Structure 1
């Protein structure tokens, strides 16, 4: 069982969550997605939000491009 008995581990956890929210906000801004939403999600669930962000970014891109269009990635 995970116990946060010392202050150092709690501070580390808060720092990781805060850093994750900043990074998610920056990625959302660069991708043109809702920044506040991804900052909050990054602070609540931390680095676990990154795969969710990638999936959401891909769906938003497919929605804007359309289903019938092809793409060439280099």
Structure 2
């Protein structure tokens, strides 16, 4: 019973922090994470990759440290 309440809250917190670190709209991802939960991870990773490519350009090399 408590897991049904804990999963959306933890998902919301996870997506908020990760979106904030990536420079994306943190509130929107937190709300989506609350309602969709962990099923949002593939969409989030694709969106983060697209945002990263927009920021750096498509012909530039970007190395993560």
**TM bucket by the smaller chain?**
0.7 to 0.9
RMSD: 1.5
1:63 partnered with 2:57: no
TM-score by length of 1: 0.76
Report the alpha carbon displacement of residue 72 of structure 1 after superposing the two structures with TM.
4.2
Of 8, 13, 34, which aligns to 1:17? 8
Structure 1 unaligned residues grouped into runs of 5+ = 1-7
Work out which structure has the larger RCO, using CA pairs closer than 8 Å and 6 or more positions apart in sequence: 2
Q: Could you say which structure has the larger radius of gyration?
A: 1
Q: Extract structure 1 runs of 4+ deviating beyond 6 A.
A: none
1:14-53 maps to which residues of 2 (within 5 A)? 14-53=5-44
Alignment length (residue pairs): 65
**Larger fraction in helix:** 2
